[in-house]
Amino acid sequence: MKDQVVLIAGASGGIGEACSRLFAEEGAKVVLAARNSAKAETIADEINDAGGEAIALELDVTDQMSVTNMLREVDETYGRIDVLVNAFGLGMIQPLTDAHPDEIKDVLDANVYGTILITQAVIKQMEPQKSGKIIMYPGILGKAVMRHSSIYSASKFAVTGFTKALVEENKRSGIRFSLMFLGGVATDFWENPNVGMKVQKDKMLTPEEVAKATLYACNQQGASVLNELVIQPESHQMV
């Protein structure tokens, strides 16, 4: 990853933060883009103080102007993007009949529309360089469903279908796509009031484990591509 420019959308905590720190340790130039730009700035400062290279930028993935402005700053600073890690999203695990329409829209806007906006814009920058890697996290609920996951699974199945269609569109572009189907990860996802589940975080995947898997996907050599990876906690094996 030495000197590669890695854009991490949703870098202010959880998987995005863990990826930012690990990729910086591997020598990448990391762009931490997040709605919570103050937290992203703190993480970037810590990376730089430790000898890495990172910048933090504000990003609202559901706002096209925000996406455009963020990418302009990345282009002015580094002139390219080698890896996009889409580590953002909103959760909702509750019965469909209990879900408020405005909150349903928020989930779909972030998880689907936001993913489309940022990915579209980055692909336009990657196409001229004939290379790039894009990492998606549809999670295990983008591959299989569970009780009360209707809205969230709808958004994550959309990410899965979107990514697979992009593979067909980009067969000659040099851009490679990886889908990460992760089981429960110990992040603040579970603190969301719209996620009505009691969980044991100590039995879940850690963000650091996910970051290592993400790095592995990005480090595939030659013509190889890690298309899909399923990682489950031991207590939830085999879907």
Active site residues per annotation: 152
| Nearest to 61, CA basis, from 103, 134, 116 | 116
Q: What is the 3-class SS of 154-192, one letter each residue?
A: HHHHHHHHHHHHHHHHCCCCCEEEEEEEECCECCHHHHC
What single letter denotes the amino acid at residue 181? Answer: F
Distance between CA atoms of residues 45 and 194, nearest Å: 32
H helices then E strands: how many in the chain?
A: 7, 7
Nearest to 7 by CA among 89, 67, 49: 67
DSSP designation for 114: I
Q: Which residues of 211-236 are buried (b: 16+ CB within 10 A; e: fewer)?
A: bebbbebbeeeeeeebebeeebbeee
